[in-house]
Amino acid sequence: MNIVKRWRVLIAEDHAILRDGLRALLTASADLEVVGEADNGREAISQIGTLKPDLVLMDLTMPGTNGIDAIREVKRRYPAVKVLTLTVHKTEEYIRAALQAGTSGYVLKEATHAELLIAIRSVMAGKTYLSPGVSERVISGYLGGGPENEAATSSESLTQREREVLKLVAEGMQNKQIASYLSISIKTVEKHRANLMKKLNLHNASALTSYAIENGLMTP
């Protein structure tokens, strides 16, 4: 009797409904076994040592430790563990940051179940998998000489308050939440965000998030 090799998978996703759907999909596959779930990056990292998964299916936007930092830490502590990113983010900034952090694949949540299974098996076979739309963006970025929103100014030009606002933007907070957290007005937050975008030559929240992650500004 042939024994099918079952890859052990840990799901890191903060939405319970999506975790349930992923578990049902993966459990139905003879070569996959879901050994655990986490709703944030820090919990995922802590579970790896105990559960010893072969693959972590990693969302990027989660409370606490974000997916990019979690990928980087997983690869630092457990280099043999594969990471496959599953996210809604399509921008080149997120794609580039995830690949640089060490993900072996990048799949959009709009993908079909069949594509996700192909991605998992490709990654476990030692290949890098990118969703078709993601591949186009990566190729366009390289052909265009790099991301058009690449920051022209170093983080050294930012004030302490701008750094604080940048970190909170990268954590997914809205202007109202940032204003409340820092005890400042919404207009002041808007002014800081405008200054950040002007100084760094970045034009949206995802670009600011990628910049913060890549330049180590997410840590306290």
CATH, residue 22: 3.40.50.2300
In-domain check, residue 54: yes
Q: What is the pTM of this model?
A: 0.66
- Could you tell me which residue, 75 or 203, shows the higher pLDDT? 75
165 vs 163: CA distance, rounded Å: 5
Q: What is the pLDDT of residues 78-136, one digit of tens each?
A: 999 999 999 988 877 788 888 888 999 999 998 899 999 999 999 999 999 998 877 66
Structure tokens at 24: 């049902």
58 vs 103: CA distance, rounded Å: 9
**How big is the chain by its Cα radius of gyration, in Å?**
18
Write the CA distances from 55 to 75, 85, 122, integer angstroms.
11, 10, 12
Confidence (pLDDT) at 200: 82
In-domain check, residue 149: no
- Could you tell me which residue, 42 or 212, shows the higher pLDDT? 42
Q: Looking at the 3D structure of the chain, how many domains does it have?
A: 2
In-domain check, residue 219: no
Which domain does 166 fall in, by range?
155-214
Is residue 170 within 8 Å of residue 208, measured between CB atoms?
yes
Reported as a pLDDT band with limits 50, 70 and 90, residue 148 is very low
